[in-house]
C-alpha cells in the first residue's frame, strides 16, 4: 500500500533525524500481538502477560464495583411511610408545591417532624434550591420550591423525626417544562 505523503513525511523525519528504531510491518505486528506471541522484553514481561495483567485489573475493579452496588441495594427501608405529591403535575418552571405525608407502619400520621428540601438538577454545576416544609395538618407537610430551569430535577428530602431519627428520601422529577 502506498502511504499518504504526510505519513511518509513522518517516517522520513525520523530517518532523517537519525532515529534507527525499526520494526516489522505494522499490520504483521498487530496480528502477532493479537496472537500473543511471547517476546523477550526487559524484566521478562511478555505481551501476553501484559494483557493478562490489564484484564485482571479490569476484572478486579468490576468485581469491586458490583460488590459495592449489591451492598447499597440491600439496605433495609425504615418503618416510615412517606408519600409525596407535586403540584403542578406535570411540573413546570417556577414555583411548585411539594406535599409530603408521613405515617408510621400502622398508618398513623407523624406530626412534629422537621423537614427541609434540596432540589438539584441532574447536571452538576447548577446551584441547588432549598426550602423548609411546614406542617399544615398532622402528618401532612407542604413546601414551596422553585424550579429555576427546565429538565430533570432531583429533590432530596431531609427529615428529622420527633424521636430524633433522621431520614433522607429522594424524589425524581422528570422533565420540568416551561412555566
Residue numbers of the site for another protein (CB under 8 A)?
1, 3-7, 9-10, 13-14, 16-19, 21, 23-27, 29-30, 33, 39, 41-43, 45, 47, 50-51, 54, 57-58, 61, 64-65, 68, 93, 118, 120-128, 130, 149-152, 154, 156, 170, 174-175, 178
44: number of Cβ within 10 Å: 9
Q: Strand order of the sheet with strand 129-137? A: 80-87, 94-104, 140-147, 129-137, 114-121
Q: Which of 152, 154, 179, 153 is nearest to 93 (CA)?
A: 179
Q: Which of 84, 121, 111 is nearest to 100 (CA)?
A: 84
Min dist CB 30 to another protein, Å, is 5
- Which is it for the CA torsion 92, 94, 99, 100, positive or negative? positive
Min dist CB 47 to another protein, Å, is 7
Nearer to another protein, 45 or 136 (CB): 45
Min dist CB 167 to another protein, Å, is 16
Nearer to another protein, 84 or 150 (CB): 150
Cell numbers at 14, concatenated: 525520523
Nearer to another protein, 25 or 89 (CB): 25
Min dist CB 91 to another protein, Å, is 12
Residue given cell 441495594 in the structure block:
73
Amino acid at each position: 500500500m502506498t502511504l499518504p505523503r504526510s505519513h511518509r513525511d513522518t517516517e522520513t523525519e525520523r530517518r532523517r533525524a537519525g532515529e534507527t528504531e525499526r520494526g516489522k510491518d505494522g499490520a504483521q505486528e498487530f496480528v502477532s500481538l493479537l496472537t500473543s506471541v511471547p517476546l523477550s522484553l526487559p524484566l521478562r514481561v511478555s505481551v501476553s502477560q501484559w494483557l493478562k495483567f490489564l484484564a485482571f485489573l479490569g476484572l478486579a475493579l468490576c468485581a469491586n464495583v458490583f460488590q459495592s452496588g449489591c451492598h447499597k441495594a440491600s439496605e433495609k427501608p425504615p418503618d416510615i411511610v412517606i408519600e409525596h405529591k407535586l403540584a403542578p403535575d406535570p411540573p413546570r418552571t417556577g414555583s411548585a408545591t411539594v406535599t409530603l405525608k408521613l405515617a408510621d407502619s400502622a398508618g398513623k400520621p407523624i406530626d412534629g417532624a422537621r423537614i427541609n428540601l434540596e432540589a438539584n438538577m441532574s447536571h452538576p454545576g447548577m446551584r441547588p434550591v432549598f426550602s423548609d416544609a411546614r406542617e399544615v395538618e398532622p402528618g401532612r407537610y407542604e413546601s414551596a420550591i422553585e424550579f429555576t430551569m427546565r429538565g430533570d430535577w432531583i429533590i432530596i428530602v431531609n427529615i428529622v423525626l420527633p424521636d430524633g431519627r433522621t431520614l433522607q428520601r429522594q424524589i425524581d422529577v422528570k422533565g420540568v417544562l416551561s412555566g
